[in-house]
Structure 1
Amino acid sequence: MLTPDVAVDLVIEALHIVMILVLVLVVPGLVAGLLVALVQAATQINEQTLSFLPRLLVTLLAIILTGRWMSGYLMDYCVSIFQRAATLVG
């Protein structure tokens, strides 16, 4: 039976997974943006488009390197949700 406690646990677990997957993509781009900003501050080059390409490339590289893990992690979660749904309904 789907009680409020079970529903809250499902939502918390889903938010936890979303945070992990987003952090895997956002943190490398954040670090690359910070490094580019430091170089721009040191050289006094204030070009806004200069910081976009490195962040984009790092984010794409993060997707390439962790995409298989992220999709497997999400698929495992979906399988567990469907397995739990069978026990919650009947």
Structure 2
Amino acid sequence: MTPEFVIGYARKAIELTLMISLPMLLVGLIVGLVVSIIQAATQVQEQTLTFVPKIIAMFVALLIAFPWIMEKMTTFTREVFINIPNYIR
């Protein structure tokens, strides 16, 4: 295995991690922004108010995106396992 090969697989793993975390992070960002705008408009500055809506929204996003996430993860894992003989050359 060459260093370029290892770096390439590490890059693929990092890209996959970012891609499968994007739906939850994006939903958390949007819900946090909406709650912050509502807090600013109503002048309610309770810090714990943002956590519950974000947690619920991120959980719902995870439930919706879970089949897609599992498909991406199993494809990547299957590709790694199938190509093990090619890696040890």
TM-score by length of 2: 0.93
Of all paired residues, the percent bearing the same amino acid is: 26
Partner of 1:58: 57
> Residue 77 of structure 1: SS of its match in structure 2?
helix
Aligned mates of 1:8, 1:56 — CA distance in 2: 34
Q: Which string of whole-angstrom CA distances, capped at 9 and with x for unpartnered residues, describes residues 9-37 of structure 1?
A: 10110010011112221110111000000
Q: Which string of whole-angstrom CA distances, capped at 9 and with x for unpartnered residues, describes residues 56-76 of structure 1?
A: 111001110001110111010
Partner of 2:72: 73
Give the superposition deviation at 1:89.
1.6
Runs ≥4 residues deviating over 4 A? none
TM-score by length of 1: 0.92
Aligned mates of 1:73, 1:82 — CA distance in 2: 14
Matches within 5 A, 1:8-87: 8-87=7-86
> Residue 86 of structure 2: SS of its match in structure 1?
helix
List alignment gaps of at least 5 residues for structure 1: none
> Residue 45 of structure 1: SS of its match in structure 2?
coil
Give aligned pairs, total: 89
Alpha-carbon RMSD: 1.0
Give the superposition deviation at 1:86.
1.9
